[in-house]
Structure 1
Amino acid sequence: MKKILPILLIIVALVVTASIAIGVKRTKTVDWEESFNEKSKKPYGLSIFYKELPNLFKDHKIRTVYHQPASYLIANSEYGYGEHVAEGSYIIIGNSDYLEDESIDELLNFVDAGNTLFISDYYFSQKIHDTLDIDIDYIFTEKDSISYQSLKYIDVESTIIDKNEGDYYFSHFDTINYNILGHSKINYKHANFIEVPFGDGHIYLHLEPKAFTNYNLLKEDRYKYIEGLISYLPENNVYFDSYTKIQTGYDGDVEKESNLGWFLEQLSFNWAWYTAIVFGILFMIFNAKRRQRIIKIIRPLQNTTIAFVKTVSNLYFETQDHKNLIDKKITYFLEKIRTDFNLDTSNLNDAFIIKLAAKTGKKKEDVKKLIEYINWLRSKNDFFEENLIKLNKHIEAFYTT
């Protein structure tokens, strides 16, 4: 073993030196995925805009919605069971086509009651097109990849959007009742930002979501264009949509990266790290052959179930961690539903309630109360002992009745 170890060390040193030399010439690849995720610091993420929302809407509440607008707005309506009545501006940047028809209806009811909806996307769900009677078309860039964005009624110079193969624009809308607030220009000027009166509120539709991304907000004075866009919205509470970003498959990997994430992106360190692991394993294999493994004393297993339950219950009783217990009860309940009844629990909507009631033989009304209460708990941030007790009663009633 003493003869092999120096050879291994020499090989490791050579591999590390070679990997460093390769890494010097390596060019880092930039991820240009248009995720429009508020946690992403990549070029086409929204982390900068998201962090600036409190400054753009001072003295107003900024709430991030991680659920379909339908469940959130119903829960926080005048007759809902949420902690407040939703009033203000609902902002959606990108991926709006993932909204379900039920959510579109609730958003339109939200606007009809005197609130505001702002959507910036390349196109919208068909229900919005049909309800508002709008059409969208696309024009290719002929000479370069630059388009120019401008606003009406606001003293802001036109801004540039580069890396743009073309522009989306409104090819048909009600020119009498709808108000054009902005244009984009490639070969000619066309409307890409309109205001739609709807009931007692207003809908703002914008067709260049890349303007809100980190890349464009950090380029020159392009942030002024976004300030101008947002200035059309009333000074009120803001509901920022995040649910649709989850549906695209982009789940905010920026938050989940480990501390080694940056180092592992460097080719030289990557080679050195995995080479060290491989030779470390080889070292242990060769070393293990020359040692007698310790004979482990196996003691009979003790039944510590009751002691464990007492310890865990005392821990939660002392810490009053109601949120943790509620999350675990919901997780275990949904897991049992998946296991026992083979149902998909990713979307707890009316269709799921009907299927669950049919498979369990329970009354639809009883099942609906339980599922709606779970959806409501998921939309809350603060929990009390009463919430935990009520959830437990609902689940016990589900299994006993």
Structure 2
Amino acid sequence: MKKALPIVFVIAALIVTAAIAIGIKNTKTVDWEESFNEKSNKPYGVSVFYKELSNLFKDQKIRTVYHQPASYLRANSEGGYGEHVAEGSFIIIGNSDYLTDESVDELLNFADNGNTVFISDYYFTQKIHDTLDVSVDYIENERDSISYLSLKHINIEAVKIDKNASDQYFSEYDSINHIVLGYSKIDYKHVNFIKVPFGKGSIYLHLEPKAFTNYNLLKEDRYKYVEGIISYLPENNIYFDSYTKIQTGYNGDVEKESNLSWFLEQLSFRWAWYTALIFGLLFMIFNAKRRQRIIKIIKPLQNTTIAFVKTISNLYFETQDHKNLIDKKITYFLEKIRSDFNIDTTILNDDFIQKLTSKTGKKKEDVKKLIDFINWLRTKNEFFEDNLIKLNRHIEAFYSK
């Protein structure tokens, strides 16, 4: 044991040094990726807004939804197998492109039953455009990347949004039935926030999700704009759509803060957990008294190909070499397309998308999102973890549907 102490101290010193070095390196790079992740403290995460929901909607239940609205809302409806009947406001900030047609139908049904749906994103799924009779266009910000946001019925000064390459706006909407609530302005005003009465409830569509991010909420008095937007929502329970999606079906209460907390609420699992901890502690106490070294069991050679691949991928991931991983995932995906469907992948244009759609039977808009994202990644020089996660999500969705 005494001989091992110097080695332990050396390893501990190396770990501390590595942690400090990694911390210093991480502070030098600011990740401006627009993740809209409610757990992210990065500039374009939404953790500040997420944490403030309980203050904005006092005495109301705030639930975080990690599943597709289709499975979650169907389960928590009249006659469903969920633990409650979902009533209130369903909020989606960014990343709404994951919504399936089935989920859109459930959200529309949710609003039709007297509830509220709020979506803030740069564009919406085609089914939302078609059902609500709206069209979205954009205008490039060629002068200073600054836009001004304002609300029609709330008396606040126009809020400035910087780092804004373009402004999305509603180029078409029902001016008789749809209610205009807000504008964006570069050279002149465009409608970017509307209320759509739907059945007994309402659907709010907003086109500037960056307003809800940490960077803008903590800068100057831009939070007043978000407060004004949220004031349109009724004082009711909130269902917040999480950045992290569980792609399997809904099978229980997914608003728990951790999986362990759910296990500890179950009597059998709780005692099993405590028993395992007690036996583990006793094992360490009695095993520490052993004087004879444990005889090492030499196992026969195994096929370590999969372990090798996992080790290499973990190495890239641990070293933050996201570019290498992204390049390899794209290369492997295109190689599989060539081998499975005999399609030339040299140029990923509209003709390629049409061929891939016809041979795979996938929806053209889903294939186009994946190929457009790959083309966009190829134009970037710097990559972040969120880029890799989103690419993996697109590819898995392509194979799962």
TM-score for the superposition, normalised by structure 2: 0.56
The answer for the alignment partner of 1:240 in structure 2 is 240
Q: Secondary structure at the match of 2:202?
A: strand
Deviation at 1:158, TM superposition (A): 0.9
Structure 2 counterpart of 1:207, one-letter code? L
Q: 1:87–1:143: structure 2 CA closer, same or farther, 3 Å change rule?
A: same
Matched, 1:119 2:119: yes
Deviation at 1:296, TM superposition (A): 5.1
> Does the 8 Å CA contact 1:46/1:214 hold for their aligned counterparts?
yes
> Does the 8 Å CA contact 2:89/2:117 hold for their aligned counterparts?
yes
Q: 1:219–1:75: structure 2 CA closer, same or farther, 3 Å change rule?
A: same
Q: 1:72–1:142: structure 2 CA closer, same or farther, 3 Å change rule?
A: same
Matched, 1:212 2:212: yes
Deviation at 1:83, TM superposition (A): 0.8
Counterparts of 1:59 and 1:216, CA distance in 2: 26
Counterparts of 1:182 and 1:66, CA distance in 2: 29
The answer for the alignment partner of 2:47 in structure 1 is 47
Structure 2 counterpart of 1:231, one-letter code? S
The answer for the alignment partner of 1:155 in structure 2 is 155
Structure 1 counterpart of 2:178, one-letter code? Y
The answer for the alignment partner of 1:138 in structure 2 is 138
Deviation at 1:100, TM superposition (A): 0.8
Structure 1 counterpart of 2:119, one-letter code? I
Q: How many residues align?
A: 241
The answer for the alignment partner of 1:347 in structure 2 is none
> Does the 8 Å CA contact 1:114/1:202 hold for their aligned counterparts?
yes
Counterparts of 2:95 and 2:116, CA distance in 1: 19
The answer for the alignment partner of 1:96 in structure 2 is 96
Q: 1:185–1:297: structure 2 CA closer, same or farther, 3 Å change rule?
A: closer
Superimposed CA distance per residue, residues 327-364 of structure 1 (whole angstroms, 9 cap, x where no aligned partner): xxxxxxxxxxxxxxxxxxxxxxxxxxxxxxxxxxxxxx
Bigger RCO (CA 8 Å, 6+ sep): 1
Q: 1:298–1:80: structure 2 CA closer, same or farther, 3 Å change rule?
A: same
Structure 2 counterpart of 1:123, one-letter code? Y
> Does the 8 Å CA contact 2:150/2:158 hold for their aligned counterparts?
yes
Deviation at 1:136, TM superposition (A): 0.3
The answer for the alignment partner of 1:186 in structure 2 is 186
Structure 2 counterpart of 1:93, one-letter code? I
Counterparts of 1:165 and 1:151, CA distance in 2: 21
Q: Secondary structure at the match of 1:30?
A: coil
Deviation at 1:155, TM superposition (A): 1.5
Q: Identity over aligned residues, as a percent?
A: 76
Residue pairs, 1:209-358, within 5 angstroms: 209-242=209-242, 298=295
The answer for the alignment partner of 2:58 in structure 1 is 58
Structure 1 counterpart of 2:206, one-letter code? H
**Aligned-residue RMSD, C-alpha:** 3.0
The answer for the alignment partner of 1:73 in structure 2 is 73
Deviation at 1:156, TM superposition (A): 1.6
Superimposed CA distance per residue, residues 186-216 of structure 1 (whole angstroms, 9 cap, x where no aligned partner): 0110000000000010000000000000000
* Higher-Rg member (1/2): 1
Superimposed CA distance per residue, residues 90-132 of structure 1 (whole angstroms, 9 cap, x where no aligned partner): 0000011111111100000000000000000000011101111
Deviation at 1:166, TM superposition (A): 0.8
> Does the 8 Å CA contact 1:194/1:206 hold for their aligned counterparts?
yes
The answer for the alignment partner of 2:170 in structure 1 is 170
Q: Secondary structure at the match of 1:170?
A: strand
Counterparts of 2:212 and 2:58, CA distance in 1: 19
Counterparts of 1:297 and 1:98, CA distance in 2: 52
Range moving further from structure 2, 137-146 or 237-246: 237-246
Q: Secondary structure at the match of 2:163?
A: coil
Counterparts of 2:54 and 2:83, CA distance in 1: 21
Q: Secondary structure at the match of 1:52?
A: helix
Q: Secondary structure at the match of 2:87?
A: coil
Misfit runs of 4+, over 4 Å: 23-27, 243-247, 294-297
> Does the 8 Å CA contact 1:36/1:245 hold for their aligned counterparts?
no
> Does the 8 Å CA contact 1:89/1:237 hold for their aligned counterparts?
yes
The answer for the alignment partner of 1:307 in structure 2 is none
Superimposed CA distance per residue, residues 123-153 of structure 1 (whole angstroms, 9 cap, x where no aligned partner): 0011101111111001001210100000011
The answer for the alignment partner of 1:195 in structure 2 is 195
TM-score for the superposition, normalised by structure 1: 0.56
Deviation at 1:28, TM superposition (A): 0.8
Structure 1 counterpart of 2:198, one-letter code? F
Query: 5+ residue gaps in structure 1?
Result: 1-8, 248-254, 256-293, 301-401
Structure 2 counterpart of 1:199, one-letter code? G
> Does the 8 Å CA contact 1:137/1:171 hold for their aligned counterparts?
yes
Deviation at 1:157, TM superposition (A): 1.4
Deviation at 1:37, TM superposition (A): 0.5
Deviation at 1:298, TM superposition (A): 3.6
Counterparts of 2:24 and 2:211, CA distance in 1: 34
Counterparts of 1:35 and 1:211, CA distance in 2: 13
> Does the 8 Å CA contact 1:99/1:244 hold for their aligned counterparts?
no
